[in-house]
Amino acid sequence: MVHETIAATNAVVTLDVALPGIVWPWLVTVNMWAKSIGTGVIFMLFLLLKKHPEQVGSLRFPTTVVSIIFIHIFLLFTLADLHQPFRMWHIFFFPHVTSAITVGAWMATAFVGLLFLLAFQSFIKKNNVAFDKTLTWVVLLAIPVTLYTAGLMSQCTARELWQMPTESAQMILAALVAGSSFMILLSGSKLNYEAKKTLGVVLGLSAFMSFILYMSEYIFGPMKAEEVAAVLEYIKGDGPYTVMFWLGQWMTYLLPMLLIVLSRASKSENILKLAAILALAGLWLVKHVWLIIPQLLPMS
């Protein structure tokens, strides 16, 4: 930044009341976190049905219910974040299709409809064949539902930190981290250790790749853009979000990776569960820091 590098300039803002700083608060963090779980468990159910079909039969309905609950938490917090929540219907009657918000709202609505169809097929009809066929389409739709928030963040021209395709990769990886973690906790005694090991591998690899992306941005981002450098100052040194950033990185990525290796060495399901709990809680912190820090930068 010029004011720090050229003493002769010594420019100081002496009057400027900047317009609001934090525009998207923690409500949006909950939105992203809940959606990661809602779509992530669907991805994991699909994976388990392919890899361990004999184990997963009884998980069809509970997984669908978990997805329905978390997608509704996501929708509820989306609504709560609106300043005019009772006008939400405008998205369907006055849609503007260049907006990721519009496209996302439509897809999320279709996704909820399909989830209820899955619940109907598994609980009322008890038809696993139909369920598995529908699930394929639900998984296909879950991918753009997961990704649209990344599209929205990338449409925020003012926030240089949120770049495509990094945000897309982070959204999918967050869904895999959240989905595998939740399934490890949800499955209880219904899955054998081999199936849980598969979930552990997904959790560990997703955490590893996500961590690499964050560290790449942390180290190399400032070399590319002045605004990114300025934003990342908030999580470096004694920046206001440094502690939260590193707490999130340790809880979501580093400790779960370590614990998964330990659980495989000791064949301990409890260690795997601890990794899952840490990853789920840490994911909220990671998402929150990345949501807030670009909003701290003055635009004027």
Partner 1 sequence: MQLGFLVDLHLCMGCKGCEIACKVENEVPLSTWRLRVKYVDVGSFPETRRTFTPLRCNHCENAPCERICPVSALHYLENGIVNIDKERCIGCAGCVMACPYGAIYIDPQTQTADKCTYCAHRVASSMMPACVVACPVQANIFGDLDNPTSNISKYIQKNQGNVQVRKPEKGTNPHHFYVNGGNVTLNPLASHRINGHQLFNKITTLPIGGHH
**Residues 279, 177: contact at Cβ < 8 Å?**
yes
Does position 133 bind partner 1 by CB under 8 A? no
Identify which range of 112-120, 148-156, 188-196, 264-272 contacts partner 1 by CB under 8 A: 148-156
Does position 54 bind partner 1 by CB under 8 A? no
Site residues (CB under 8 A) for partner 1, limited to 71-130 = 81-85, 87-88, 90-91, 94-96, 98-102, 105
The dihedral built from the CA positions of residue 199, 66, 105 and 294, taken in this order, carries a sign that is: negative
Does position 265 bind partner 1 by CB under 8 A? no
Number of residues that bind partner 1 (CB under 8 A): 54
Q: Show Cβ contacts of residue 188 under 8 Å, excluding neighbours closer than 6 positions.
A: none
Q: Which of 33, 74, 122, 159 binds partner 1 (CB under 8 A)?
A: 159
Q: Which tokens in the block code for residue 73?
A: 């938490």
The smaller minimum CB distance to partner 1, of residues 189 and 300, is found at: 300
Q: What is the CA radius of gyration of the chain?
A: 21
Q: Show Cβ contacts of residue 64 under 8 Å, excluding neighbours closer than 6 positions.
A: 45, 115, 118, 119, 122
Does position 164 bind partner 1 by CB under 8 A? no
Task: Lay out the site mask for partner 1 across 193-232 (x = CB under 8 A, - = otherwise).
Answer: ---------------------------------xx--x--
Question: Rounded to the nearest whole angstrom, what is the least distance from the CB of residue 153 to partner 1 in the complex?
Answer: 8
The smaller minimum CB distance to partner 1, of residues 101 and 119, is found at: 101
Report the alpha-carbon distance of residue 199 to residue 213 in Å, rounded: 21
Spell 195-234 as b/e; 16+ CB within 10 A means b.
Answer: bbbbbbebbbbbbebbbeebeebeeebbeeeebbebbbbb
Does position 9 bind partner 1 by CB under 8 A? yes
Q: Which tokens in the block code for residue 91?
A: 């998205």
Question: Residues interacting with partner 1, by CB under 8 A?
Answer: 1-4, 8-25, 81-85, 87-88, 90-91, 94-96, 98-102, 105, 152, 155-159, 226-227, 230, 295, 297-300
